[in-house]
């Protein structure tokens, strides 16, 4: 699980939908009292950005004509803030996903 945190317009449909699901999975994990500290320490998620990131992903889904009916209202006030290496994530997406690479090169 990870928060790519790149411009949602750059993500292929698979990664757009995948990151959206993962925002819900992180919230579910946190709400069950399980730690996400390992993800935070590795720079894979910034808990303070879950709500705005979910919103950005949902807006891009709707812009692409996808269905979005899973609102997310999550309080992250007590969770740590951590930066995400967006530049690294762009390189990683380009490396692993031809569809993301094509979208990024087209923009």
> Domains of the chain: which residue ranges?
8-106
Q: What is residue 99's predicted lDDT score, i.e. its pLDDT? A: 98
Mean pLDDT of 58-86: 90
pLDDT at residue 60 above 90?
A: yes
Are the C-beta atoms of residues 77 and 84 closer than 8 Å to each other?
no
Q: Give yes or no for residue 15 having a pLDDT over 90.
A: yes
- pLDDT above 90 (res 23): yes
Q: How far is CA 98 from CA 21, 40, 104, in A?
A: 21, 27, 10
Residues 6+ apart with CB under 8 A from 56: 8
pLDDT score for 80:
78
**pLDDT, averaged across the chain:** 93
Return the structure tokens found at 90: 């762009």
pTM above 0.85, yes or no: yes
Using alpha carbons, select from 97, 74, 79 the residue that is nearest to residue 17.
97
């Amino acid at each position: 699980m990870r928060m790519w945190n790149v411009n949602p317009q750059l993500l292929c449909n698979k990664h757009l939908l995948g990151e959206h699901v993962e925002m819900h999975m992180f919230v579910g994990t946190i709400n069950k009292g399980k730690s996400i500290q390992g993800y935070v320490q590795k720079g894979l998620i910034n808990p303070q950005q879950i709500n705005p990131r979910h919103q950005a992903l949902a807006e891009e889904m709707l812009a692409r004509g996808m269905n979005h009916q899973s609102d997310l209202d999550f309080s992250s006030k007590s969770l740590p803030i951590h930066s995400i290496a967006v530049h690294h994530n762009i390189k990683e997406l380009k490396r692993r996903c031809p569809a993301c690479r094509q979208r990024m090169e087209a923009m």
